[in-house]
Amino acid sequence: MYWAGYIYRYWHYYTNESSREIYKIADARTMNECWLGFHTLDVEMAIDNLKEIYRQKNEK
């Protein structure tokens, strides 16, 4: 969970999005599912990938 907490805080500083907006995009389940593949990525790349996953899930 350390990684997820770090990503959430960095995400806020990187994008200036609120915690509520961030958690809507990447909730705890998503973070847990992505950890294995994302924990070795650059933090900004991980955030961008999480946002892209959200976009793809919500396309109509």
pLDDT in tens, 29-38: 999 999 999 9
Mean pLDDT of 13-42: 96
Helical spans, DSSP H, in 1-60: 2-15, 19-25, 28-38, 43-57
Residue 11 has pLDDT above 90, yes or no: yes
Domain ranges of the chain: 2-57
Distance (Å, whole) CA 46 – CA 59: 20
pLDDT at 1: 78
The Cα–Cα gap between 47 and 49 comes to: 5
Average pLDDT, the chain: 95
- What does the alpha-carbon distance between residue 6 and residue 38 come to, in Å, rounded to a whole number? 13
